[in-house]
Amino acid sequence: MNALLQGAIRSLEAHPAVESVTIEEAVDGGATARAIFRVNLPSRWAAAGGSPNGVRSREEVLFEFPPNFPESAPRITLREDFADTLPHTYLHKKGERVPPCITFGDKRDVMHSDGIIRLVDQMSDWLDKAALDQLAENEHGWEPSRRDVGFNFLEMDIH
């Protein structure tokens, strides 16, 4: 693992919302970091362990750092059964980890301008807003919406 990747993982571990991080190094030089984020919930929801929409008081977030980090940003995903009906999640297949949309634009651009800590901050903020169902901010005007149904793609199960 290169020094820049080690520094990114130290930044992830030091974030106030991150409770713990488990690292798995890849043979190609990349790494996977499983971070447990504390989600800021109202007291009754925290006592119940999560929000009514399924966001838990502790959420595992997977950061998959590519071998060419920091040239490329990490792939960030949530647990497979995370509520995929919330706004600002990317399309994915059922049963796969849910990829949150935490930045306006390319994660790499955000990371290169503000550092990895900005992505960690964004992830923490996204989880807090997701729990309160406040990911869409309609009072700020139009937001692009996800299209779960579309055309020009085909998904098949041959079994």
Q: List helix spans (H) across 15-94.
A: 43-48
Query: Distance between CA atoms of 77 and 93, rounded to whole angstroms?
Result: 13
Cα 111–Cα 59–Cα 96 angle in degrees, nearest 5: 80
What are the contacts of 77-85 at 24+ separation with CB within 8 A? Answer: 82/54, 82/55, 83/53, 83/54, 83/55, 83/130
CA 5 to chain centroid, in Å, comes to 18
3-33 as b/e, with b when 16 or more CB fall inside 10 Å? eebeebbebbeebebbeebebeeeeeebbeb
User: What is residue 140's predicted lDDT score, i.e. its pLDDT?
Assistant: 60
Q: What is the pTM of this model?
A: 0.83
CB neighbours of residue 40 within 10 Å: 16
Tokens of 128: 């807090």
Note down pLDDT in tens along the chain; length 159 residues: 889 999 999 999 999 999 999 999 999 889 999 999 999 999 999 999 999 989 999 999 999 999 999 999 999 999 999 887 777 777 777 888 989 988 877 888 888 888 899 999 999 999 999 999 887 766 665 555 544 444 555 667 777
